[in-house]
């Protein structure tokens, strides 16, 4: 019976570890998507600034 309890405890610990890694991965993906969106916004603003500067030089 004690072996079953130890196994169950080890399984629970393993499952908690997996769930924690899964949640961390989801958070990492969310942060990466947010960073890519911010980067795209910065690039778009930079392009717009370059285009405005080009129009004023002609």
**Block means of pLDDT (10 residues each) for the chain, length 58 residues?**
73 95 98 98 95 78
pLDDT at 1: 55
pLDDT at 57: 66
Best CA proximity match to 44, nearest among 55, 52, 56: 52
**Domain residue limits, the chain:** 33-58
Task: With H, G, I as helix, E, B as strand and everything else as coil, classify residue 24.
Answer: helix
Residue 31 has which token pair? 């942060």
- The pTM (predicted TM-score) of the whole model is 0.67
pLDDT at 30: 98
Q: Rounded to whole angstroms, how far apart are CA atoms 12 and 25?
A: 20
Signed CA dihedral, 37, 42, 46, 52: sign only: positive
């Amino acid at each position: 019976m004690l072996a079953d309890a130890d196994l169950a405890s080890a399984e629970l610990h393993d499952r908690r570890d997996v769930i924690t890694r899964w949640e961390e991965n989801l958070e990492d993906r969310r942060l990466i998507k947010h960073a890519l969106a911010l980067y795209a916004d910065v690039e778009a603003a930079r392009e717009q600034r370059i285009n405005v500067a080009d129009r004023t030089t002609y």
